[in-house]
Structure 1
Amino acid sequence: MLLSTAAGTVEVATLLASGVVTVGSAVLLAYLYVYARDVVVEIDLRDMWPLAMGIGAGVVYGVANIADTLVSAAWLGPFAEGATLFFILGVALGIRGLALSRRDRSTTALPQWLDYAVLAVFVGSWWLGFLLSGETRLVVVAGWVGASLWALYYSLLAVRTHEGTSIAALVRNLLPAVIATAGVVFADIVGRYLGYAGVVDAVWLVGTVIVGTFLFTTAVAIRQQGGEVERMYDWTTWRGSGERSAEVARGSETEAGVEDRSD
């Protein structure tokens, strides 16, 4: 049995962690569509595309990692690393777009077109390395570090700028997944450089489960936002103006009667 050995236990844990990320990303991607369609207004929905791309890359990462664990093909490991890069790049760009929504983009340090230029450079560089030489580690590490810091900065900016809105609720729930991803990334870089492969694997397992968990909580937060919007138009909780006025009048008469009896 797989669980009878340490290697088998790690393999099962890897499959479960990857499954959590896969399902969590898929659920969040579906609710992100609901969020863009039914909840959020007055923002450029093009800002949601990088975020959707990043979450979709989370699905690809989980599936690729499951396949790599079961099949152990040489190309699946680098492919899963690339999906992690696209995940954090997409999330970083999506959160930046949400943070700067309803603001004058001309006052920002970097123009919006540069976002897509940076994304295109990393995506193109990774695919060239993957297809031509199979060596993508340098591109992945550079993208991991830069995008992680970028995502953390704009997550804090989005929450501070849009406090009390659905944008802040979405980013606040997604922020722990970003932090966990950044933690796993830096542990992977430092651990492999220092030769602590076992520590890296342990941190990866814990961090991956945390990422998948907070992807689920972000989807739940979006569902709650949608529920609040639905309750605004719920006929069972709203009153017509005439009916409401009658209720107020009856309440006033009742209070007056109580005061008369007390006199």
Structure 2
Amino acid sequence: MSYHWNWGVLLSPVSTGEPTTYLGWLISGLGVTVSVSLVAWVIALVAGSFFGVLRTMPNKRLAAIGTVYVAIFRNIPLIVQFFIWYLVVPELLPASAGNWLKQLPPGVQFFSASIVCLGLFTSARVCEQVRSGIEALPRGQRAAGLAMGFTEWQTYRYVLLPVSYRIIVPPLTSEFLNIFKNSAVASTIGLLDLSAQARQLVDYTAQTYESFIAVTLAYVLINLVVMNLMRWLERRTRLPGYIGGK
């Protein structure tokens, strides 16, 4: 098979008449991927922490709520959840809210549905990491917090969570990386992220290898930045006597 390599195509002006190059398309997609992933990660960390705490509460009803939440978001395929949030949820909302959502610019609709879907999907996995971190602590820590006069929530806030977060930095790193990779699925609902821009570049130039090699390198760069950032965070937050501590 003969293939004509042409890396210069990345610097060529796009044929749509836009004042940019094909490399500019990829950089724009990279910005969308990073933005969606970071906002979704905030949602995942907040929601995952909340439901992770619920899963370890002595109250069985609260623990059951956390269990049902995890079961729902972990057992429905991610691509299905994207279409549910983009197509189904606006129809289930009150007419005024649904119409308002559907009248937003398409780019805003794609972005909003993507961050909510990706954030909640990942939060179910973060929830399990938080739960495992809390349950890995000695039971005496909870008892000590309550004995000092803390309420149940204060015990979690000041005693259990500060320690459990330090323990679960390595698995959280994996989830943080996954959220960048899973963001590529958002292109199925129309979000022009990095992978979508790569496919668009192929459609206009037919330079398949150059497009996807460039995208692969971009994802590798993201992963390297995230891993080094989380490795630094792990060193800064490790506790003596626990996993990773000296």
Higher helix share: 1
Which gives a bigger RCO, structure 1 or 2 (Cα 8 Å, sep 6+)? 2
Shared topology, TM-score over 0.5?
no
TM-score w.r.t. the length of structure 2 is: 0.31
Which structure has the bigger radius of gyration? 1
